[in-house]
Each structure stands twice: as C-alpha cells, then as structure tokens.
Structure 1
C-alpha cells in the first residue's frame, strides 16, 4: 500500500532576533527567569514584508527547490496556523498565489501546536487514495501578532517562523508509518486565544480581554508530559516497536522542562532528541517543521532512520507520528 514520504524540507525565519535581554526592557522579567523556566534565549519576530503567508511561501519554495518540483505540479497546499494573515481567505490561498500553484487546491487547518502533525496525517490519507499526489504542507506562525506584550508569562515564550515539507506517494519502506492523534475540548481553557471582539454584542464573551494567547502554565505542563508519553507509547506498541528503535525524536518545541521530563519518562538519551527551542522559542505549528528542516540540514536524518514526532497544543490537541526517513 502506498503511503506519504517526505521529499524535501524548507524553513524561513524572520530577520529580527529578539533576545531575553531586550524583553527585560519591555516587561518585568529577566534573562535568568526566562532561561531557567523555559530554556528560551531568543526568538525571531516578524517585521515588514514578513507576513505569515510570506514566511510560509518562502519556506515552501525552499522545500520545493530541494525536490525540483515546480509549484504548478502541486495538487494541494495545506497550511497549519493559529495566526493567519486574514480570517478569510486562508493563508494557504495566499501561499498558492505567491507560488503560482494554480493547479492545486488550498486550505488551512487549526490544531494549534499540533497542527503540522495533524497535517502530516491528513496528507498521508490523501496520498493513500491518490499516490501520485504532490502535497505542500506548511506550518507557519506570526505569534507576535497574537501575544499580550504586557503578560510576562506568555510573551516571552513565542516566536515567528515557518517550516515546510513536500510529500508524495511511495511503496518502499520509507514514509509515514502511522500516527496517534487526540483532542479534548473540555480542557480548552488551559490554552486558548480569543477572536477579535464580536460586532454582535449578544455573542460577545463576558470575559473578553483581547485576542491574546492565554495559558495556565502549570496545568499545561502536567497534561502535556503525560499525554505525549501515552501517545508515543501507544503508537510504538501498535507497530511492534520500542523506544530503542527510534533514531531521533523531534518534539514540539514548547518548554525545556516539558521536553526533559518527557525524554526521561520515555527513556530516550539526550542525543536522540532534537531541540532548537533556545533559538526560536515556541513557534506553535511551525516548530516541528522548522526543527525537521534544521535536523535535515545538519545531517541528523539518514535514510532508513525511524523518526518520531510528538506534539501538544491548545484544544487540547496532542499526538505522535512515526515515519521512516
């Protein structure tokens, strides 16, 4: 049976880098406080000419360049994002226009930080039915447009950027093996972001304070570690594999405390976990594809390697995915 295989990766980060020292001038915080609690030392913040769709399109072009595939050969563009350029049309439609990929269709998905992993599962299902499809999947965020820059508990966490992969069908041993995806809408208040203020007063939430990211950090930590651990172990058992079979885990880059705790509970050595959080912060749906592209460029992904992705985000949404490089 055919399955989706990644042909190429690409990423794009805004030019401006904001360090913890700069944030000290904006909110009541310190480099030591941020680094010790999150592991983040800097993040990229978008400027003029770096809208969400522009970062996404550049990441997509770089992924396509690796494969030699022309944008007009694309059948589908999916963009995972919680910080779209506009509510309508989709960011994916803007990317389609930027790339000149008029022969495919395009849409966005919103599964918060789990969006890219959800997107890989969707692409895999498309390709199982039509192995010849060529799909561009992008995770792209400009979270600097969605944080409250007076809230020191959240504004220090997030960054902007985009990562992309090009997928098509294969019948050999490489490609996506399987996934284990979950969501729990009853826990939405632990990590959420309001919409712009409603123009219908009857539909305006009583506790609306602005279209900002809100988070209960301590509760998120407890749920994230347990839920990702369960998703990883369930997926490995389903395919008759153990954690020792994994060559590299690329997790959602949220917080070093979460990642350290998860790694230890899974029994993975440090060298088998790819972490670039310190440079980019939490880029939500873009974090895994940015890390995947960086790992690829560093030579950390070799043909035949078993790669494990795991993620957790607002919704709550979480899950894991296995692929053979």
Structure 2
C-alpha cells in the first residue's frame, strides 16, 4: 500500500462576495414581499458574505461543472499537466442534470485527455466520498495521482420562482418562527463555489498533507430523511420521488426545492455527529488533545456552541482554540466547504510540520458523517 498526500489545494469562488443586504435582490423576492425569515436565519447563522454564480445583471455566470473546472485548472503547474490526471473524482449535491454524471460534465469542460472519472452522489458528504475514492485509488496503487473535488451551484435552486409555492404561507412566520427554518432558511445559508485537491503518492510541495485515514458513518438505518429535494415527504416519513408524481405537480408542490425537517435536524445532527466522531477517533487511537486543527463543516454558527457542548457531554472535547472555520465569509458551500476551509488554513501560514488536522463533515440528508485525519509533512 502507498502513502497518500494532498500536495496542492485550490478553490474557485465565483464573482464577488454578496452581503446580507444584497441577497434578496440576487435571489428574488417571493410574492412581492420581503422574507420575514431572512433576518431570523441570518441572525442565527452569522454568515456575513457568500458567493453566487450570478452577475450583477441577474445572469448565471457558471454552472456547477464550470465552477469545478475552474478549481481543477488552478491545480495545474509545471508538476501537473492537464493530461497527467489519472483519476477525476467529483462530489456535489447540486449537479446540473440527472445524467450525464457530474464528473463526466467536468471532464467535458476540462478537455484534458482520457482519464478515469467518479461521481459520488449525496449531499455534503459527497465531497468527502470523492476524496475517499481518490485516497483509496492512490493508496492501493491503482493510480499515482487523483484530483478530487467538492462543488455546489445552489443559487439557481434558491431563486424566488422555485419557492413561490413552498412559501405561500410565509405570513404564518410571525405566529411560529420555526417555519422560517423549515421553509425559508436554506435560501439564506447556501453559497456557490468549488474546491479541489491533488492527491499523489509522494510528499511534494511546501507542506504536503498526509492522509492518515478516512472514516464514514450513516444513520439512515435509524432515522428518516431530513433534507431532501426531488421528492415530497409524506406524513409517514416516506419520501415519494418526483418520478411518481404527474409532471404538472412538480412545480405546484415545489418538488425540486431543497427542504429541511428542522425538528429532526435539531434532535439528531449533533448527537449522532459526536457519536460518530467518537467511533472514528477511538478506532484509530486518536485522543482529542492530539488534534491541532479541527475543521468542522457546520451549516450555521447556531450549532457551534451546541456541538461543543455535545462533545463535552460525550467526553471528546476539542478545545475552542483548535477550531478553524470560515463559514461567516464564504457561506455554506455544501460538498465544497471542507475543501475551501482546508485551502484557507493551508494558505494561512499557520501550519507546522507534525500538526494533526481533523476534517469533519456531517450530512443531514439522512444523517451521514465523514472524517479524515491529516498530518502536515
């Protein structure tokens, strides 16, 4: 088995950062009324800026595959030519189409010659699953290198025309503000962007990051779907897919809008997250105090202190001073968040040889979690 190193990291954030005051102009006002939920959600998530693949005239500037292509091309240098990529593994929760696969579309834009492609599906963990496929390919010796990506282009899903039916009862927010989380909150959290890692079997570059191990856990056997799109959730908890509805119902029921069962989220996301964290680090004999940088992908700062408290409750406390996050600046970029977070840390000048970095990615779709431990070489 080979050792595997992240030897280069890149990111692509489209256009300019969008402030909280500009969001509704970009995404559109629903039913001619400013969102009552927006202020509630932004106060909780504490995101200040985010990025959209939409220009100042309201035109789309990139699709998801194009965002990913831009991030991959930033990896090119004298040590990596386009036609030298042996594996392209691309994760996203917002592909541009059902078929062809996301990685196939990215490869089509890259035009870099023949290569193996892989497209893990899912939500935020799809980016980590893309990384794990590349990690295992290089580790097993199947390839000498792999380019792994996470990306999202959710702005087009968040535009007002998608949510007209979903939010027609917006006036009930004043009576029960939690509906803002159920119906409206994803519009004020999600961001567009892409990140890419180059994996190699030799420690190249200034501060290569050795991937020590990766672990993943799903709780779908215990819990019903929490975040979903392309389906309607029935009273029983069963997800009825779009393909079982007449086509005239797709827009009337906003079947392709992203939705979140917030009650289910609040009851489970942190408890199961720390439970899986304990399993991962105990399996590999890692103690919380061994971790120099903890990079948690969280959707909102609303969960930050609650996550810390749950760590204390389960005796796996990682001190605050070891946490590294950039949610307030870039927003929730889903599958790309962990790539963009690690790129910022690696570019900060803070890392020293021997530092241990723990990547932690939850996925609320049906509660899955992915982890990776890195060592700075």
* Secondary structure of the structure 2 residue equivalent to 1:135: strand
* Secondary structure of the structure 2 residue equivalent to 1:286: helix
Corresponding residue number in structure 2 for 1:232: 277
Query: CA contact under 8 A between 1:31 and 1:41: conserved in structure 2?
Result: no
From 309, 316, 320, give the equivalent of 2:371.
320
Please tell me whether residue 274 in structure 1 is matched to residue 309 in structure 2.
no
Q: TM-score, normalised by structure 1?
A: 0.89
* Secondary structure of the structure 2 residue equivalent to 1:118: helix
Deviation readout 1:151-207 (Å, 9 max, x if unpaired)? 4222111111101101022499952222221123353431111169538749x89x9
1:105-144 to 2 correspondences below 5 Å: 105-130=116-141, 132-144=143-155
Corresponding residue number in structure 1 for 2:227: 191
CA deviation after TM superposition for structure 1 residue 247, in Å: 1.0
CA distance in 1, matches of 2:287, 2:129: 23
From 181, 190, 195, give the equivalent of 2:216.
181
Corresponding residue number in structure 2 for 1:214: 259
Corresponding residue number in structure 2 for 1:259: 304
Larger Rg: 2
* Secondary structure of the structure 2 residue equivalent to 1:185: coil
CA distance in 2, matches of 1:21, 1:208: 29
Corresponding residue number in structure 2 for 1:11: 11
Query: CA contact under 8 A between 1:51 and 1:142: conserved in structure 2?
Result: yes
Moved more, 189-198 or 87-96: 189-198
Normalized per residue, the structure richer in strand is: 1
CA deviation after TM superposition for structure 1 residue 268, in Å: 2.3
* Secondary structure of the structure 2 residue equivalent to 1:198: helix
Moved more, 186-195 or 314-323: 186-195
* Secondary structure of the structure 2 residue equivalent to 1:144: coil
CA distance in 2, matches of 1:120, 1:315: 20
Two-structure CA RMSD over aligned residues (Å): 2.8
Query: CA contact under 8 A between 2:137 and 2:143: conserved in structure 1?
Result: no
Please tell me whether residue 50 in structure 1 is matched to residue 62 in structure 2.
yes
From 66, 79, 82, give the equivalent of 2:93.
82
Moved more, 296-305 or 188-197: 188-197
CA distance in 1, matches of 2:17, 2:159: 18
Deviation readout 1:215-259 (Å, 9 max, x if unpaired)? 022421332212221222222222222111101111114111223
* Secondary structure of the structure 2 residue equivalent to 1:63: coil
CA distance in 1, matches of 2:151, 2:305: 25
CA distance in 1, matches of 2:22, 2:109: 33
Deviation readout 1:107-149 (Å, 9 max, x if unpaired)? 3111211112222222221122216521110101001122364
Corresponding residue number in structure 1 for 2:104: 93
Alignment gaps of 5+ in structure 1: none
Moved more, 256-265 or 109-118: 256-265
Alignment gaps of 5+ in structure 2: 55-59, 164-182, 232-240
CA distance in 2, matches of 1:317, 1:210: 23
Deviation readout 1:243-295 (Å, 9 max, x if unpaired)? 11101111114111223322342422333111111122211101100111111
**Compared CA separation, residues 301 and 31, structure 1 to 2 (3 A):** farther
Corresponding residue number in structure 1 for 2:48: 41
Moved more, 99-108 or 6-15: 99-108
